[in-house]
Amino acid sequence: MDLKQLLKEANADNDYGRLLDLVPYARFIGMECERFGDEMVFRLPAKEQNLGNPMLPALHGGVIAGFMEMSAILQLMVLMQTTRVPKIVDFSIDYLRAGYARETYCECKITRQGRRVANVSVSCWQTNRKQPIATARAHFLID
């Protein structure tokens, strides 16, 4: 099955698990996605292998960044119905507070979509959406 057909089926079923299964890193960290109308919310379950500091315990910063980057890529692909994975131009993350060993969520907002470059803002939180543990800005090259 090609990627375009898989995207079409995922949107019809509101099930993005098969798309995430295509990405080994997303599978490894346990990433999940749900769509509510035009909004997509990504979930990272609490998993011991995602910890960077077992003493707190807290998530590894690279896991948080990878989760946020993969969320932005998937949202661009779903909303644009593209057959190619967007290429990252740059990714800037601000860690605002510790991400403890609990469920973590993120949402993405596409702020500008030009002919070739898309700008995406990403917010990542745990217990309160208004208190993010990290925010990011990313630019992607799109076809």
pLDDT tens figures, 15-62: 899 889 988 999 999 999 999 888 899 999 999 999 998 888 999 999
Residues 4-30 as b or e (16 or more Cβ within 10 Å = b)? eebbeebeeeeebeebbeeeeebeebe
- Which residue ranges form the domains of the chain, and what is each CATH number? 3-141 (3.10.129.10)
Q: How much is the pTM?
A: 0.93
E-assigned strand segments in 25-130: 32-36, 39-44, 51-53, 58-59, 87-95, 104-113, 117-125
Q: What is the pLDDT of residues 78-126, one digit of tens each?
A: 888 787 889 999 999 999 999 999 999 999 999 877 788 999 999 999 9
